[in-house]
Chains A and B, each alone.
Chain A
Amino acid sequence: MEVEKISGLKFHKKQDVAIVGAGMTTFKRRLNETGRELSYLAIKQALEEAGITIDDIEMVVMGSAPDTFDGLHMKGEYLLDGSGGSDRPYMRVFVGGGTGVFAPIAGYWHVASGLADVCLVVCEEKMSSSHPHPQSAFKYIWDPILDRPLSPNLIWIFALEMRRYMHVHNIKHEDIALVSVKNKGNALDHPCAQVAEKITVEDVLNSEPMALPVRRLDVSPPSDGAAALIMVAPHIARQLTDNPVWVTGVGWALDTTWWTNRDLYFPRYVAEAAKMAYRQAHINDPRKEIDVAEPYDPFDYKELHHMEGLGLAKKGEAPILTREGVTQRDGDLPTCPSGGLLGVGNPIAATMGVKACELYWQLAYRAGKRQVAKEVTTGVCQAWGDLMQVGTVMVMSNKR
């Protein structure tokens, strides 16, 4: 057995893990399909891209965020048959919005441990079932005694965080709005996109105020959809493709649930998770060694926040890189070339399609019109969730 010893991290890996196929549905309001049907549609694409059938799948990881969206307790069990979980070892994982990268991390455990040689990871979210609005469901993630009597919602919590970030680094809304302009524009090349459009900084600044500084175009939309990934052992990858993409590092971390007691300007949970993943991937200087990134962007400032957590920019530097065009698709460090959540949509867990799946497509040179201009070897994707406290990070490389 191969044993890797990395300082500060006990890490015993049985085998390397490759990604050989991915798929996703369009992101939009999909009343016509059930969550099971959405999962099935995404899996079919991933199997086809990998060149295998469902019979080849040994184990399944399902990722889906709170049960309150679908209105079904034990949603994982409900979704099982459309997720290929029937008669197989099957588990559901979720860390709220962080699920889109946490689910592939769980898939990685399955293969790296040697328990499975072929693992299917599928993420689904159907937010449109929830009324009066999917946002209403978030009310019940707060502490029932300290927070909930004030009727908080996510938008104003994020507004507090955005304000703090802007204040500490003296950042203008104009600089943050550039992220929304970039991502919604990138999404024009994504066939699954919900809110792709060519907009300007002025459009963002003049859009409807929600909880200032957050305005309508700073935010990603609720959505329905599913995404799937096929993760395999090296000997399987060799049979299927000449160009597998390797998972070289995974990391996850949670900060305290007492969110008011954090300094909101910097996502420590992402920094901790990134540190774990980079150590495993032998990355010392992420800004130099990462060629393409998919940081989690449910809000425009969040992409910047997360770039800094991921060490892709110094604290307060992400808006400068964005203004200089470094993060454009033809820039030196393209971020969210998929169009991200801001452009493609935000079906919580299913955003795996624009994070882990997109990174795989970029590194496999399968991203089509979305392919970044520069040569790419190594990339990072990240998601964030729970009570604004979890960071989930995956590093991939097309060199083993």
Chain B
Amino acid sequence: MIEKIVNPKELRHWDGRIELYWIYTSGKAGDEFFKKLMNEEKFLAAKCKKCGKVYFPPRIYCEKDFSETEFVEVSGEGCVRAFTVARLDAYEKPLEKPEIYAVIDIDGTDGCLIHLLGEVEPENVEIGMKVKPVLKPKNEREGKITDILYFKPL
């Protein structure tokens, strides 16, 4: 017979926690991308010198043919490729205002970005809809992906 124990206090038990933290860096291409976004409100992509594929966000290498890339500037505008409307938070509590997450196909590149949509109601979002990024005011920007507040319909 197997006794079911659901309270660990009935057994000798040990609490554990992994006490580590990390400092991530974004690499050579990532550093250029975020500095450009923060300081100049411009968007960088990277074009493969061999096959012409344009990576967004930029990388120093082409993942297909391992050639070097060169930076190209793009508008940051794009269109919605897929979206979802989140109504519950991570703890399954209803959100006060639904959040719209979209995969955005960035114009002039072969890359996409996941971000929030804003200034639009969920029922009005469509696949293929043109959108443009809305940035934080310059003094609030930190060189992070959240320097983009959301994308709004164009």
Contact = CB atoms under 8 A, between A and B. Distances in A.
Contacts of A81: 59, 63
Given A130-B20, A145-B14, A54 B65 contact: yes
A44 B20 contact: no
B20 A82 contact: no
B26 interface: yes
A399 B55 CA distance: 45
Nearest to B30: A34
B25 interface: yes
B70 to A, nearest CB: 16
Contact of B23 (A53, A82, A131, A148): A131
A136 interface: yes
Nearest to B24: A129
A43 B26 contact: no
A140 B18 contact: yes
B64 interface: yes
A33 B27 CA distance: 4
B19 to A, nearest CB: 7
B24 A40 contact: no
A292 B64 CA distance: 38
B22 interface: yes
B31 A32 contact: yes
A132 B21 CA distance: 7
B14 A71 contact: no
A345 B21 CA distance: 23
Contacts of A53: 65-66
B122 to A, nearest CB: 31
A16 to B, nearest CB: 27
A40 B61 contact: yes
A34 B27 contact: yes
Given A37-B60, A129-B22, A131-B22, A144 B66 contact: no
Interface in A32-63: 32-34, 36-37, 40, 43-44, 47, 53-55
B27 A129 contact: no
A7 to B, nearest CB: 44
A86 B55 CA distance: 14
Nearest to A70: B22
B24 A44 contact: no
Contacts of B26: 34
Contact of B63 (A71, A86, A132): A86
B22 A144 contact: no
B8 interface: no
B28 interface: yes
Contact of A84 (B20, B25, B66): B66
B20 A131 contact: yes
A47 B66 contact: yes
Given A31-B25, A54-B66, A131-B23, A68 B61 contact: no
Contacts of A86: 63-64
Interface of A: 31-34, 36-37, 40, 43-44, 47, 53-55, 68, 70-71, 81-82, 84, 86-87, 129-132, 136-137, 140, 144-145, 148-149
28 contacts: A32-B25, A32-B28, A32-B31, A33-B27, A33-B28, A34-B25, A34-B30, A37-B27, A37-B28, A37-B61, A40-B66, A43-B66, A54-B64, A54-B65, A71-B20, A81-B63, A82-B63, A84-B66, A86-B64, A87-B64, A129-B23, A129-B24, A129-B25, A130-B22, A132-B21, A137-B20, A144-B14, A149-B14
**Across the A-B interface, the 10 shortest Cβ-Cβ residue pairs:** A71-B22, A34-B27, A54-B66, A81-B63, A40-B61, A129-B22, A86-B63, A37-B27, A131-B21, A31-B25
Given A53-B65, A81-B59, A86-B64, 10 more contacts: A32-B25, A32-B27, A33-B25, A43-B66, A47-B66, A70-B22, A87-B64, A129-B22, A131-B20, A144-B16
